[in-house]
Chains A and B, each alone.
Chain A
């Protein structure tokens, strides 16, 4: 069973651009040499990969940092909780063949085995912390490389099931909160900038998801012809600052030219969150997003950002189900439990 998320450091954005950058993530795709990619592999092949991973020293001993979770034996709710924490993907949660995930004690590191690629090693960090996340993912990568030979070509680099990931097989991403850009109708500029900079823009839940509450996941698409360090420096030095600057400019416009409008929608959101008796998931996220910008721009003096971040996680269906005992379906009982949880947290 997936344990509760009792580590506040996972939720607390701090440091540079804390008000806009919620979290950072670095993900590596790797495949085992001589074994068909996951989609073409047989179940014995997939089990062989699971076995290889489980034999590496990182899993050995009682004090091992990583805990192994077989996906086939995991309850649906627990799988959804891992998706909501961004530790596994939707596709991985829904697959029906042998697969598993290793998760570190601090829940910032996860290794999906038999996702689209044999291995998806990823690290998460609150706020803008790509360097730290990259450092950790590199250490884990080295541990794996000393035990497993990965599919590698001198020309193409690390060979991945989808050729668009070939080369470094690395994805740097940040989760950005861009509500002011949306309000000032400048989202088109961000999309154009993303296109110019070869970036992928995804919603709150990654690939294929819509942006809810103005949270956007931005990541590099180029993985070949540039080293990991150069990709990181470009992403960190040029890409993130440019997008942050757009949002910061839009926030200034809101504060200086549309102050009443800003105050109105923040207080309305706060009021609704404090009073609602039924809250749907999309509405909850949207209102929490507005409260978050209100808190960042000091329109409201409370709650702490970590309270908002915790709610952004706990209002989601599987977490709500685990905490309140409700169904994961969006029925009246679930909506009522969500509203009550929010009122209690903010009241």
Chain B
């Protein structure tokens, strides 16, 4: 099957499949967009490439999701039974679930309780990551590319992709 570029709809030539927490996530890009995103280049992406990459919403958020790609549960089936199929459904159906959960939970949309010990490090990393991304954006906006490169190295040191999400 021929894929179109996730960014501009031209024929995609660069394909990447990421498996995270058992969930398959595919990326398809045309040569131009791939270069802009830093794919295929031998060096690290440049600061302006970061700037372009960071605000780009994930494909899943732009497209209307009707079923969970991990377990196959459809939104119609969820609406019928009220029970989700797997942990990834929370991500797949986030836009649908958000108002539902808020209504059932007195308006709350964020967890404030116990965090499992093995997740604490992960939470710290997430926090650090979002702080560094904010600094990176600021550095790019101020055209401080040397500083941006340092921040990029720190981000890579956290173990995740600079483009967003963990590998």
Show the binding face of A for B, using Cβ within 8 Å.
31, 33-37, 39-40, 116, 141, 145-146, 149-159, 161-164, 166-168, 170, 198, 221-228, 231
* A154 x B111 contact (CB < 8 A): yes
* B85 x A154 contact (CB < 8 A): no
* A33 x B21 contact (CB < 8 A): yes
Known A149-B118, A157-B111, A166-B101; judge A40-B71 contact (CB<8 A).
yes
Show the binding face of B for A, using Cβ within 8 Å.
21-22, 70-71, 73, 81-87, 90-91, 97, 100-101, 104-119, 122-123, 126
User: Complex formed: what's the CA distance from A263 to B101 in Å?
Assistant: 48
Q: Which B residues are in CB contact (< 8 Å) with A168?
A: 111, 113-114
Majority SS at the chain A contact face: loop
Q: Which A residues are in CB contact (< 8 Å) with B107?
A: 225
* B111 x A153 contact (CB < 8 A): yes
Q: Which B residues are in CB contact (< 8 Å) with A161?
A: 83-84
Residue in A closest to B85 when the chains form the complex, CB atoms: A40
Q: Which A residues are in CB contact (< 8 Å) with B114?
A: 141, 168, 227-228
User: Complex formed: what's the CA distance from A343 to B13 in Å?
Assistant: 84
* B83 x A225 contact (CB < 8 A): no
CB distance from B95 to the nearest CB of A (A): 13
User: Complex formed: what's the CA distance from A37 to B68 in Å?
Assistant: 13
* A224 x B116 contact (CB < 8 A): no
CB distance from B77 to the nearest CB of A (A): 10
New A-B contacts (15) at CB < 8 Å, excluding given A149-B116, A157-B111: A34-B87, A36-B70, A39-B81, A40-B85, A116-B83, A152-B119, A154-B119, A154-B126, A161-B83, A162-B84, A166-B105, A166-B111, A226-B112, A227-B112, A231-B113
CB distance from A139 to the nearest CB of B (A): 13
Q: Which A residues are in CB contact (< 8 Å) with B87?
A: 31, 33-34, 37, 151, 153, 159
